[in-house]
Amino acid sequence: MKIIRSIKEMKEISTNIKAKGDTIGFVPTMGYLHEGHAALIDVCRKETDIVIVSIFVNPLQFGPNEDFDRYPRDEERDRRIAERHRADYLFLPTVEEMYPEKASLSINVVDRTDVLCGRTRQGHFDGVVTVLAKLFHLTNSDVAYFGLKDAQQVAVVKALVDDLNFSVKIRPIPTVREADGLAKSSRNVYLSPEERMEASHLYKSLQIGQQLLIDGVKNTGIIINEVRKYLKNHTNGSIDYVEILSFPELKEISTINQPVILAVAVNFAKARLIDNILINGHGVIVSDPFQS
């Protein structure tokens, strides 16, 4: 595995790879890799010729009161994990490399962002699509792999690719979970032992909502109330939201007759955890919402 730190070298390498006719798979991350990231790399390894993993903690997607400086970083650990999972290239640019000067333009996301995490994180997804637009160009990727734990991000990135006619295909991968159902996340390290036990109830609350739909409950208000009640009774965290929206459009609906996202977010003392499931109108899990 080769480590790349400069934009110039990344562009040269990806251009040469494409000139040879090889397909490029790309896994963009913010580092502190865990089993969820590893799963993305593993699928990428199976489906494409060359695997590029990027690690970049993007300041543009952090608000003024968010945890950019506190976000966990461990380059050596990340390098070992990427190499173990057979990445070909690890792109590790600095902030100065990615943003050497003040930008002359910005990308503003105008849809799919006023719900879920986007409601309280103004400008977050503008930062996400800005850095991904750069990374898609630099890596020349044919396929980009994203975990469905952050399904709103996946929906926004799909809109970026569709609206601006990027040639990269977005490949969503199901959430990787701990044995008790907790979604893998770099922020899980901030949980106290008591909070860690409570955190498993996020996924259990989603399963309760799913079962209601399987049992024939189509009314979103009823399902949301039951999920919220379960979270309130089983965690001491502050519930940020419980929402059911069409997917990937992320529009409010009152009756479930189509693929939807059931999503929750809970604030603990030092970590804000999110989780979701994508299900169809009958409550069956949707593993790839973009599969034709």
pLDDT tens digits, 130-153: 999 999 999 999 999 999 999 999
Cis preceding-peptide flag for 248 (omega within 30 of 0) = yes
Q: Which CATH class is domain 2-173?
A: alpha beta
Average pLDDT of the chain?
95
> Which pLDDT belongs to residue 6?
98
Which amino acids are annotated as binding site for ATP, given as ranges?
Answer: 30-37, 147-150, 176, 184-187
Query: Quick one: which of 289, 288, 290, 228 has its CA closest to 263?
Result: 228
Lowest mean pLDDT among 101-105, 145-149, 155-159, 253-257: 101-105
What's domain 186-279's architecture?
A: 2-Layer Sandwich (3.30)
Average pLDDT, integer, range 236-244: 97
> Which pLDDT belongs to residue 155?
97
Q: How many CB atoms lie within 10 A of CB 200?
A: 17
Per-residue pLDDT for 127 more than 90?
yes
> Which pLDDT belongs to residue 120?
84
pLDDT band at 292 (very low <50, low <70, confident <90, very high): low
Which amino acids are annotated as binding site for (R)-pantoate, given as ranges?
Answer: 61, 153
Query: Quick one: which of 176, 177, 136 has its CA closest to 54?
Result: 136
Per-domain boundaries in the chain: 2-173, 186-279
- C-alpha angle with apex 246: 114 to 257, nearest 5 degrees? 155
Give the pTM.
Answer: 0.92
Which amino acid makes up residue 72? P
> Which pLDDT belongs to residue 126?
94
> Which pLDDT belongs to residue 70?
81
Q: Is 37 a catalytic residue?
A: yes
Place of tokens 């461990």: 74
Average pLDDT, integer, range 71-84: 94
Residues 60-73: tens digit of each pLDDT: 998 877 778 888 89
Residues 1-18: tens digit of each pLDDT: 999 999 999 999 999 999
> Which pLDDT belongs to residue 105?
87
Lowest mean pLDDT among 63-72, 100-109, 131-140, 260-269: 63-72
Per-residue pLDDT for 49 more than 90?
yes
Average pLDDT, integer, range 247-271: 96
Q: Which of 37, 85, 124, 201 is catalytic?
A: 37
211 phi and psi angles, rounded to 5 deg: -65, -35
Per-residue pLDDT for 36 more than 80?
yes
Q: What are the C-alpha distances in Å from 215 to residues 220, 247, 283?
A: 13, 21, 9
> Which pLDDT belongs to residue 71?
84
Query: Quick one: which of 121, 123, 114, 113 has its CA closest to 156?
Result: 113
Residues 160-190: tens digit of each pLDDT: 999 999 999 999 999 999 999 999 988 898 9
> Which pLDDT belongs to residue 22?
98
